[in-house]
Structure 1
Amino acid sequence: MPYEPYDAFLLVSFGGPEANEDVIPFLENVTRGRNIPRERLAEVGQHYYLYDGVSPINRQCRDLIAAIRSDFAGAGVDLPVYWGNRFWTPMLGETVAQMARDGIRRVVAMATSAYSNYSSHRAYLDDIAAAREAVGPDAPEIELIRPFFDHPGFIEPLVEHTRDALDRLPEDRRAGAHLLFSAHSIPTAMAEASGAPGHAYGPGGAYVAQLTEVARLVSERLGEDHPYELVYQSRSGPPSQPWLEPDVNDRLADLARQGATAVVTVPYGFVSDHMEVVYDLDNEARETAREHGMHFVRALSPGTHPRFVAMVRELVAERAAGAEPFGLTALPACHDCPEGCCSQR
């Protein structure tokens, strides 16, 4: 049985508010220790208030968990599925404590993030370690699945959803449509520090290298000749701090000036359509495109696509067997994120 080393599966996510009164406490959790002014929290909170304080991410995690349980059962994988968030209920520490009470001893975990950088991988490892330390000697061992950016189970849903988005454009605008692959911007110093030490990833470290390769993989598999490029969204740092660019809105304006009339944005930096997608793309970027007279369609993220769900089981089996990471690129995989990997810098 390829899953024998483990007696539970844990989904670890970011978390999000589910009512207006949750918004500021949630944002305080996210920004604790960073001296973010209260006014800035209130400004970001407005994004959530547009949706009655409800981030889509928790519902999407519940849907993914239900799909994983069904897939596990269908494949004969007898692993209970737990869920813990970094910044909102169910909190990771409470989940680890519950696993200890349930007698769980060894856990395989997956973060809802596909790429290598401090925020999307190393921070999850740090929070898992902190949760285990808080629980004490009865805490289960928890092993985190590697970043899965180039796994076919991540790429194939992106290809299908991008093709569906192109099909939603007016037929006379479809052939010349530009593809903007959008990912969460991070400080350039953090990007350059991403990945395993000793590997030459090029400018932007492992994060930019992985994003570049995934955009290429998806574009090639579409089988259509659309110009494509990588853009960034959801910047939150001070103007004095360099972050990855170009911003999706700036690039939309540039493309309009260059004569582009149709754009598809692909939120491939995300595994589900959570707040950064529905606000920053469905609201802000869509409005930017409208102001410039451009047709705009946003592709879906992987979500609960059956191939993505099956990938979870495949990654569990890979980890359990100690197999070499399987992917569609030659980029080095951060299997265990060694010391110095994906530092915050």
Structure 2
Amino acid sequence: MSSPEQHLPSASSRGAGVPFASAAAAAGTAYVEEAVAYDAVLLAGFGGPEGQDDVIPFLRNVTRGRGIPDERLEEVAHHYRHFGGVSPINAQNRALKAALEAEISRRGLDLPVYWGNRNWAPYLEEAVTDAAAAGDTKLLAVATSAYSSFSSCRQYREDFARVLTGTDLAGTVTIDKVRQFFDHPGFVSVFVEGVREAVAGFLSDGVPADAIHVLFSTHSIPTADAERSGPREGDPEHRDLGEGGAYAAQHEAVAAYVMAEVAASVPGSEGVPWQLVYQSRSGPPTQPWLEPDVCDVIEALPEQGAQAVAIVPLGFVSDHMEVLWDLDTEAMEAAAEAGLKAVRTPTPGVDPAYVSGLVDLVEERLHGTPAADRPHVTDLGPWFDVCRPACCENVRAGFKPAASGVAP
């Protein structure tokens, strides 16, 4: 198999250094405000095992290049084995693909949807080669991750580049990507409604507002990765977003918006405490990761006078394994042990508002919607169509060629 570097387009053919891009995105501007006639949508998922025999091979794929022995992988495998070795994520993506197809058809858009995963069948290679075989060579990717970081954005873009070069389609197929949608109303509205119902329910049960705590949970990542998420210093789009970089800032901004919406719509909910927490840490103890851990925070809530907790899976688009195990199992057990009333609010899944929002993002690129006209609910948005140079660097693995962004 050839290397990605051998297939990188020349500097003259990729404008400001955006490899594998459509002509409109190749200019390297942050926002593509030019209509693009895409051939198809590429739904890019993480993937998950669908049986006990798949679990360890799947985890090997997830941790490829890190030299982790199977004995250590088995420590994580028990989460999947608890559910029969089946992750729900593939079924959820099948449902999302069908929902996207239905919404695209309803709007009269002639766009097929191809689905491929990074870590398990159906793989991205299959989706891209199927698209090319059908003559659909100008693809617009929708990744099942809303925020900016290496694992939630850049790693998908590196996989697009790897697939294009590994299939020798780099000169034939282009892949652009919709903007990170953490603050798109279609994504956020599901969390607003979930927190609204949870807080209203606790209040109706007689729990005082200041005894209700809302914990917005997302996947922890290495602190070094978080600091490098978003545009880097020296880039015109750079903003000082604090130690957690764009990753933490985006979550904080969305959580603040959700709580403001709840306070405005649920009588008596003013003053409900909330905070951003993290889960699913997988790195060695010597490596700093974002904190605090959701279960540690829950354990300490009774000392703060808490009687009830709403656990909000803000970093997740569906009820996959990190939600089922880390929140529905471990966090809910922690709440029970602490004597707290507890509710876990819904993820977007295939909620009509979320599905409609994703197709809105596709239409932004089809029509070249000006950035000023794009919906967003925080001051951080709308995020960029073309990722900035050195955005979301992984210092341990080093940079690899990536689609949908300006090369560093």
Q: TM-score with structure 2 length normalisation?
A: 0.81
Query: Does structure 2 retain, via aligned residues, the 8 Å contact 1:3–1:316?
Result: no
Q: In the alignment, residue 221 of structure 1 is paired with which amino acid?
A: E
Runs of 4+ in structure 1 displaced over 6 angstroms?
none
CA–CA separation in structure 1 for the residues paired with 2:205 and 2:35: 48
Specify the SS of the correspondent of 2:207: helix
Where does residue 211 of structure 1 map in the other structure? 251
CA shift at 1:129, angstroms?
0.7
Where does residue 183 of structure 1 map in the other structure? 218
CA–CA separation in structure 2 for the residues paired with 1:128 and 1:12: 9
Deviations 1:133-172 (A, max 9, x none): 1121464211111111111111111111222333554712
Where does residue 51 of structure 2 map in the other structure? 19
Q: TM-score with structure 1 length normalisation?
A: 0.96
| Aligned positions of 1:39-118 closer than 5 A | 39-118=71-150
Query: Does structure 1 retain, via aligned residues, the 8 Å contact 2:216–2:277?
Result: yes
Task: Give yes or no for the alignment of 1:173 onto 2:207.
Answer: yes
CA–CA separation in structure 1 for the residues paired with 2:293 and 2:172: 42
CA–CA separation in structure 1 for the residues paired with 2:279 and 2:39: 38
Query: Does structure 2 retain, via aligned residues, the 8 Å contact 1:166–1:297?
Result: no
Where does residue 153 of structure 1 map in the other structure? 186
Q: Match for 1:334 among 376, 384, 391? A: 384
* RCO comparison, higher one (Cα < 8 Å, 6+): 2
CA–CA separation in structure 2 for the residues paired with 1:82 and 1:166: 39
CA–CA separation in structure 1 for the residues paired with 2:175 and 2:201: 43
Query: Does structure 1 retain, via aligned residues, the 8 Å contact 2:225–2:394?
Result: yes
CA–CA separation in structure 2 for the residues paired with 1:174 and 1:157: 24
Q: Which runs of 5+ in 1 are unaligned?
A: none
- Structure 1 residues 277, 139: closer, same or farther in 2, change over 3 A? farther
CA–CA separation in structure 2 for the residues paired with 1:163 and 1:56: 26
Query: Does structure 1 retain, via aligned residues, the 8 Å contact 2:56–2:70?
Result: no
Q: Match for 1:271 among 298, 317, 320? A: 317
Q: Match for 1:287 among 324, 333, 343? A: 333
Q: Which runs of 5+ in 2 are unaligned?
A: 1-33, 264-268, 396-408
CA–CA separation in structure 2 for the residues paired with 1:288 and 1:338: 40
Q: In the alignment, residue 123 of structure 2 is paired with which amino acid?
A: M
Deviations 1:242-278 (A, max 9, x none): 0000000110011122221110000010011110000
Where does residue 155 of structure 2 map in the other structure? 123
Q: In the alignment, residue 13 of structure 1 is paired with which amino acid?
A: G
Where does residue 294 of structure 2 map in the other structure? 248
Query: Does structure 2 retain, via aligned residues, the 8 Å contact 1:9–1:82?
Result: yes
Specify the SS of the correspondent of 1:73: helix
Q: Larger Rg: 1 or 2? A: 2
Specify the SS of the correspondent of 2:206: helix
Overall identity of the aligned pairs, in %: 50
| Count of aligned residue pairs for this structure pair | 344
Q: In the alignment, residue 172 of structure 1 is paired with which amino acid?
A: G
Deviations 1:189-239 (A, max 9, x none): 000000012321122100011011000011111123221100000000000
CA shift at 1:97, angstroms?
1.1
